[in-house]
Amino acid sequence: MADTSERLSLPYLMPAQAQKHVTHNEALQRLDLLVQLAVESFDANTPPSLPQAGEVHALGSSPTAAWAGHADELAAWIEGNWHFVVPQEGWQALDKSSGALRRRAADAWVEVSVPDLTDLPGVGINAGHNSGNRLTVSSPATLLNHEGAGHQLKLNKAGTGDTASLLFQTDWSGRAEMGTAGADDFSIKVSADGSTWTTALAFDAATGMASGMALTQSTEDTTVGRLLRVGDFGIGADAGPVVTDLDAHLLSGSYSSYGGAHAQAPAGANPFSTLDGVFGLLCGNSTLGDQNAYIWQIAIGLDTPGLAFRVRASGAWGSWQRLWSGANTTVDANGFVKEASPIVRLFCGTCEEPAVPLNAQFERQALGQYTLTNVPPLASKGWQIEVPQDANGNRLVYVDCTYDAANGALHVRTSKVIWQDSWAAGEPCDIPEGRWVDLRFGMPTR
């Protein structure tokens, strides 16, 4: 039997050996040196002047002084003497000066390198990976932190028709997905079973415009939970939804009572004798489904500017109530308030349009003769002409008009007032200074 062990050369206790503790302690001393080996320096050739107990050095090729003759060995300071051990292939030692781990190989100490982690077939953290999921993490959370500034998570796909997305699952069945799935438009999709999917919201890659089931689908879509698009219920639109029955329309928002075509007035027609109207609906103190709720409709005339309202109570609409303002009334030359459609004030040397502009063109032809062009005929209902009067109510001028439909021109003649069995036109005269004649026209056709 050999006296020492094969690898660490530990001395064996021999049969009938005297002072066996000496051999045993020598073996322990050698184990104390080599187990969890930590080295003060590598390639050392000069012994330190004041070595510390248990200090170990890996000697170089040309050691001197007390280390002479022990090239490439390990030198340990034990009980005031240097003890030497020949290292074997595969031994590992920690370099205490750098923290690096070294391994004995081919008569040299080489640094143990970090394993190469590039081009791995897969990585599983607390789980196994496969060909479809080459990185698998099983953890309560995953942290991707910045390194000094921001941090980006990049999902790259090969082409437009491919998918780059985040998929959210329940028991391995998809429930929500966000990203560029099958297109470059960004979308958010949801599913209740993992097989039927609904695009809740999508953004066009070129325009940024939104679409999807989370938005209202028509101008009058009242589905609870949907987001209101610009244009629906007239919000931000030139005109709101076309309504054919105002009596039955109980939804809040702005809307048009007639379409672009000059159609026949629908049920619940607006209070204006016009072809078009825009309305706003305000709901009162209850839900839309409560027929007893108070609901207000406000009508705004287009062709005849004006404002009116009506109230629905106990399931029935009240009558329209028109509001009078400067848009649908005028103060005539005598100070009276009168109902107005487009009004032109005719002066001796000019004309004014205080309510609704017609862009009438004025020309004085001669004494008491005036022409207005670019005008419709005088109103067919209600009053047409109001002339200035004196303090006793006597007319200051007599007015006679003829309309040239072919040229859209109204010819006006003013004369002194005479009596010939009735009031009649006398000699021509101009409209008195500071006074005017009110001419009320019909609504222009579109």
d(CA 413, CA 439): 13
Q: Given this model, what pLDDT does residue 275 score?
A: 45
The chain-wide mean pLDDT, for the chain, equals 84
Yes or no: say if 333 and 438 are a contact pair by the CB < 8 Å rule: yes
What digits encode the pLDDT tens for the residues 257-305?
654 444 445 556 666 654 445 566 665 544 445 555 678 888 877 666 6
Q: Given this model, what pLDDT does residue 262 score?
A: 40
121 forms bridges with which residues in the sheet?
A: none
80-98 in b/e form (b: 16+ CB < 10 A) is eebbebebeeebebebeee
Residues in CB range of 232: below 8 A, 6 or more apart: 216, 218, 219, 220, 221, 241, 253
**Rounded percentage of the chain residues whose pLDDT exceeds 70:** 82
Yes or no: say if 308 and 299 are a contact pair by the CB < 8 Å rule: yes
Yes or no: say if 346 and 364 are a contact pair by the CB < 8 Å rule: no
The CA–CA distances, whole Å, from 62 to 87, 262, 272, 327 equal 16, 111, 115, 113
d(CA 303, CA 164): 54
Residues in CB range of 274: below 8 A, 6 or more apart: 301, 302, 303, 304, 443
Q: Given this model, what pLDDT does residue 118 score?
A: 81
Question: Nearest 5°: phi and psi at 360?
Answer: -65, 145
Yes or no: say if 91 and 126 are a contact pair by the CB < 8 Å rule: no
Helix H or strand E encompassing 27: helix 20-34
Rounded average pLDDT over 121-134: 93
Residues in CB range of 446: below 8 A, 6 or more apart: 262, 275, 276, 303
Lookup result for tokens 């848009």: 327
Yes or no: say if 341 and 379 are a contact pair by the CB < 8 Å rule: yes
Q: Which of 173, 171, 208, 203 is nearest to 190 (CA)?
A: 173
What digits encode the pLDDT tens for the residues 401-424?
999 999 999 999 999 999 888 889
315: pLDDT strictly greater than 80 = no
pTM across the whole model: 0.50
25: pLDDT strictly greater than 70 = no
Q: Given this model, what pLDDT does residue 189 score?
A: 97
What digits encode the pLDDT tens for the residues 103-112?
998 889 998 8
- Strand, coil or helix: 378: strand
CA 303 to chain CA centroid, Å, is 38
Going by the DSSP 8-state scheme, the letter that residue 267 receives in this structure is B
Residue 332: pLDDT band by 50, 70, 90 thresholds? confident
- Strand, coil or helix: 349: coil
Beta strands in 335-408 (DSSP E): 337-339, 343-346, 351-352, 361-366, 369-373, 385-386, 398-404
